[in-house]
Every structure is written in structure tokens, then in C-alpha cells.
A = this chain, B = another copy of it.
Amino acid sequence: MTDNSATFDIAGYGHYPVNHQPLSIETGPDSLRLTWDDGHESEFHYLWLRDNCPCPGCVSTLTREQMFEICDVPLSIRPLEAQLDGGYLHIQWDHDGHVSRFHPGWLRSHCYSEQARAARQWQPEIWDKATIETSLPTYDYTAMMQDDTVLLSWLRQLRDTGISLLQNTDTTPGTLQQVAARISFIRETNFGTLFDVRAKPDANSAAYTNLRLPLHTDLPTRELQPGLQFLHCLNNDATGGESILVDGFRIAQHMREQYPDDFEALSSLPMDFYNKDRHSDYRFRGPALVLDGQGTVIEVRFANFLRGPLDVPADQVVRHYRAYRTFISLTREPRFQFEYRLVPGDLLVFDNRRVLHARQAFDLQQGHRHLQGCYVDRDELLSRIRVLERTL
């Protein structure tokens, strides 16, 4: 693959294969329209093109950061001349004669037609008990550690399905450090970098008891809930303690279809989440279901035991409780629950901002249960995927 970046055609480290050629340009008052060899049309505004000029005068060749600022040219900027040459779009600007040159692969990748924007929209792979039991994404620890292709496949799977199992993981305590380093940094929290999940005296969280833990996301009390959660099984011969996982996106989808007002309430009314600790007092206020600009559910925030008193307008209190009860009731339905018993060497990884997890109570008279856990944020995952995609 050509290193586009060396020619300063592109303001970054990405690679943009040229799969199509622009054939013609039609200029309008504030934008031009390219027609491509497959019939696709792209409208590019003059302000947008000028803003994205990749030349060494506009973009630092050292840092690849833009030095040009769009407020230094008139709003009315337009081409003196616009032409195609060897697939490149060349423009000379009326304002000061500056010349910009755009790579065809880059242009096509950044087309913002309705069709192109829709094609770029990420779609999660939503699951329930039946689908995940037959298709739990499973990877081998050693293969993932040694082979970047396996790593990339694992990370993409985590991004899209939100769950995966690494098997045959080294059971040395602290192994999670090496696993996390395949992605990036561990997200440190008040529970530490690595945390040990086992029953202990003076527990500051139900996680550190042997009690049943109802379905929840971890740390909904934090503005940014931790993204990936890693649970590494070192020992599990106690009776009980099975893990239960539910795709929160599936619950949200079901609510949207069957209980639209409840869905609307949980995605618009804020909840208050409080941590309960002698040494910290994190609080966050926000809806249980988070939507992006297109209305897609991108996050679920939910732990019954980490809530503060509801603080919404009085006329919304009953509506909120109705919706919240619907949500909890659905998470309890077996058709949505994936139950799994971790064995030593299993490393379960899931998107903590999507997948709710629970644990059955366990009996310490009958053995031990020791997991190690850590978190890695979602944007570390996405960054790593992009960097791997540049080179593989």
C-alpha cells in the first residue's frame, strides 16, 4: 500500500485506496458536485474544501495538525478554477490564489451525501440468550497475544457484539496488565487499576461480598462509565457464583418496540447515580438509555444499588418509575439472559456501557472464587482498531 502521507496529499496517517475516479465537476454558487465513474455524486462545499486543504502551508508536516484557520478567509470563498487531473481535484481559490489538491480516495471516503453518511453509521450486533449461546465470540489467549490479525478480529468483535471470551489465559495474577497493554491503558478508578473480585471483610461494594449481584453496569456513578470490562478467572470452585450477561441494547430495542413511552422516559429523564463509599463520593446525573444524534442507543447506564434519590419534576416521577420498573423486569427475563460459569483461564470481556452483568450468590464453605478485573475505555479500543487497520 502506498504511504500517501509522505506526499502530503492527506492530512493524516490514513490510507485511502482509490476505488473510483471522479469524472466531472459541476460548480454551483457555494459548492461543487463531483460525478464518479460508478454514477455516485458528491457535493462538496467550497468552505469545506478550503478547510480541508492538505498542503504543507495549511497542515504542519511535522505534527500533521492544521495551521490554517477557516475564519481567515471570506465566507464567500470560491474557486477561480476547479479541474480534475489524474483523478485529483485541483482548485485555485479566488481569495488569494491559494491552490489545493485533493486525493480521490480521500474525497470519496469523506463524501457527506445522505447515502454515504448512512453507510458509515455503525450498527451493533444485538443478541439475546438464544443467539449468544450458539455464537459466543471465543478467542485463544496465546493467538491474540502473538498475532495482530487475531487481535484486530477480537477487538472488532468486542466493538460490534460487546462481548467475547478469551480462553486458555495464563492464570498468573496480573496477567490482565499484559492483555490490556495489547489495547492501551487501564482506566484507573477508586477500586484501583486491577481489582480483585472476591469476598472480603469491610466491603465497600456488593461486588466484594458473596451476595447475589443484580444486573448492572459498573460505575454508572462516573461521568464516563468504564468501557471494556475484563473479568479474569483465577479460581472458581465455590458453589454458585455463575455470571449472567444481558445485552442492554436488546432490552432497549424491546422497550422501544413494546413500551415506547417507557423507552422515551428512560432515554430523556435523568437518573441520579451515587457511589456509596467512605472515601469517595462520585455522582452522575443522566438518562439510563443514551441515544446519539440519529436516535441509536449507544449506552446503557444502570445499577439499582448505586442510585441516588430521583430528582425530576414532580409530574414525571410516576412515569419514570413505571419505565424503570419495565426495564428491570425485562432484564430479569430468561430469554435475554446468557448464563456462564467461568473456569480458571477464562477471560470474559464485555462492553460495560452496553452489557449488564450479574452474579449469583456463592457459598464459600464449598471452595474459593477469585476473579481479577480491570477496565479499558471505549475510545482506547476504537483508536487501537484504527491504528491496526492502517497497517494490517
Contacts and interface: CB of A to CB of B under 8 A. Distances in A.
A329 interface: yes
A71 B310 contact: no
A245 to B, nearest CB: 19
A304 B71 CA distance: 10
18 contacts: A12-B276, A13-B278, A43-B314, A45-B321, A48-B321, A51-B309, A51-B310, A62-B203, A63-B206, A69-B304, A71-B324, A75-B321, A75-B322, A112-B311, A112-B317, A184-B280, A223-B378, A283-B382
Contacts of A377: 223-224
Interface of A: 11-13, 30-31, 43, 45, 47-48, 51-52, 60, 62-67, 69-71, 75, 110, 112-114, 117, 120, 184-185, 188, 190, 202-206, 209, 214, 222-224, 270, 274-284, 293, 304-307, 309-314, 317-318, 321-322, 324-325, 328-329, 377-379, 382-383, 386-387, 390
A306 B65 CA distance: 6
A128 to B, nearest CB: 20
A318 to B, nearest CB: 6
With most chain B CB atoms within 10 A of its CB, the pick from A45, A120, A309 is A309
A26 to B, nearest CB: 14
A264 to B, nearest CB: 14
A45 B282 contact: no
Given A65-B205, A65-B206, A65-B276, 6 more contacts: A45-B314, A65-B306, A66-B305, A110-B309, A112-B313, A224-B377
Q: What is the count of identical protomers in the complex?
A: 2
A65 B274 CA distance: 10
The 5 A-B pairs at the shortest CB distance, nearest first, are namely: A281-B386, A64-B276, A65-B305, A224-B224, A71-B325
A352 B202 CA distance: 37
A318 B224 contact: no
Contacts of A277: 13, 64
A174 to B, nearest CB: 18
Contacts of A13: 276-278, 281
A63 B284 CA distance: 19
B310 A48 contact: yes
Nearest to A282: B383
A63 B203 CA distance: 6
Nearest to A328: B71
B276 A325 contact: no
Contacts of A69: 214, 304, 328
A318 B378 contact: no
Contact of A311 (B62, B65, B117): B117
A224 B378 CA distance: 10
A45 B184 CA distance: 46
A222 to B, nearest CB: 6
Contacts of A329: 71
Nearest to A379: B223
Contact of A114 (B31, B188, B313, B383): B313
A333 to B, nearest CB: 12
